[in-house]
Chains A and B, each alone.
Chain A
């Protein structure tokens, strides 16, 4: 465990080629998130089709963890309802708060199970100061949805 666990290929890929980057023409919800300690910034815009997210865009700058986490999040929430998104965010937060010794295992109910690629971020747990980086996009998304 160590840097290889933190900087997995999927994370570096999303950092170098962030998905759904930019702005929506007519966002129905949006929010800005800032981590004042390190200066990472993120803007998230969302459009809906009925109750489901039809489009999402993210803009900002920051470290590989905050940017890749937001990028993966945009892929994960497309087509999902608010309820499903809330569940996803819950799982993500649970994954981030697990102790190092906890075994995610193959339990279908394990926090990472519904997260797909996002599971790659579990290496962040070993770096407590970076958990805020990983969470920035998700917290901002919740703000956008609550607004």
Chain B
């Protein structure tokens, strides 16, 4: 068993004994991240890229150092391919609107999957309506995996973009993105990956993924809220128009026209999340000091234990893969006769924090034939005791509702 229990002291919010099993929604922040942001704000903060004074230079340097750190972390060869956004949602909207409105037209197809988070679904619906392109979806198999045969059959010359989650926030499924990217490229389509659940939990190399765009958020990887990343392959970014206009993204402006700043700045209108970039930098340092492979191993071990123990709880059904093949540390469950909200309330009474509801993936819930699930998701600070508490809380729920 991978022992990461030494990390727990870095997360003061866990001191009161909460069994925090909702990192899939947002992760907690370790002291080094909080301190890095605090130190920066106290000593080096000013707006970036515009002041000629020392503080602004220091601030700009810290902001750009964060960009280089992200590039290094995800294996990007060119740091200009790293764009800071407000989060994965903004990153995906930048692709859908910035790339989609420019490159999609009537008769084109956008191929997504049935297990997308609303953030990788709704922007494409909006762009499909505006461009006349159609939005098509790859279904999931009975065991909660992406149906690769259907995916292949749906590809064709009219498919201009394929967009897939790197890891399902509901099922934990990890689709074979490198394979999908290869197929997409063979048909001349761009490949987009919603990596919000993937990057925090495993070592990601954007070139190995084979994608053209990769989106993720800082707040799910021990960093602060308010900042995320869009990585884009340079030739894909060159096909992309800025999605927001404003300060800092321009080269020249007249009363009627403007020209864009270079990539990446043309995609970063307005004052960016500067302190948050410093926090994300510290979060990446922290993750790397543990080791991404070790984190993935740790999540997997906990997930395997959870899956094994949950089958013994009366009435529990797992939604998604029930073995450890190509899945991450997210376990969605339903209990016969007990609604997920009631599960979450009862678990909360035992200080176990899980997410209950549709997890911003309503089409997937419909396809699973459920209206809500309770979801436990694991991260570096979780340990077996959290699963003990989860299982005992679920048994308590079963008792209250008379589930046998």
Contact = CB atoms under 8 A, between A and B. Distances in A.
Interface of A: 2-3, 6-7, 12, 16, 37-41, 61-65, 127, 130, 133
List 9 A-B pairs, minimum CB-CB distance, nearest first. A63-B341, A63-B339, A39-B358, A38-B357, A64-B342, A7-B400, A61-B371, A63-B342, A3-B349
A130 B349 CA distance: 13
A60 to B, nearest CB: 10
Contacts of B372: 38-39, 63
Given A39-B365, A39-B371, A63-B339, A12 B402 contact: yes
A38 B340 CA distance: 10
Nearest to B346: A3
22 contacts: A3-B345, A3-B349, A6-B345, A7-B342, A12-B400, A37-B357, A38-B356, A39-B358, A39-B362, A39-B365, A39-B371, A39-B372, A62-B339, A62-B371, A63-B339, A63-B341, A63-B372, A64-B342, A64-B401, A65-B341, A65-B342, A127-B345
Q: B341, B372, B402: which has the most chain A beta carbons within 10 Å? A: B341
Contacts of B365: 39
A41 B339 CA distance: 13
Nearest to B358: A39
Interface in B325-381: 337-342, 345-346, 349, 356-358, 362, 365, 371-372
Contacts of A3: 345-346, 349, 396, 400
Nearest to B340: A63
A127 B356 CA distance: 15
B368 to A, nearest CB: 13
Contacts of B346: 3
Contacts of B402: 12
Contacts of A2: 349
Contacts of A62: 339, 341, 371
A2 B349 CA distance: 8
Contacts of A7: 342, 400-401
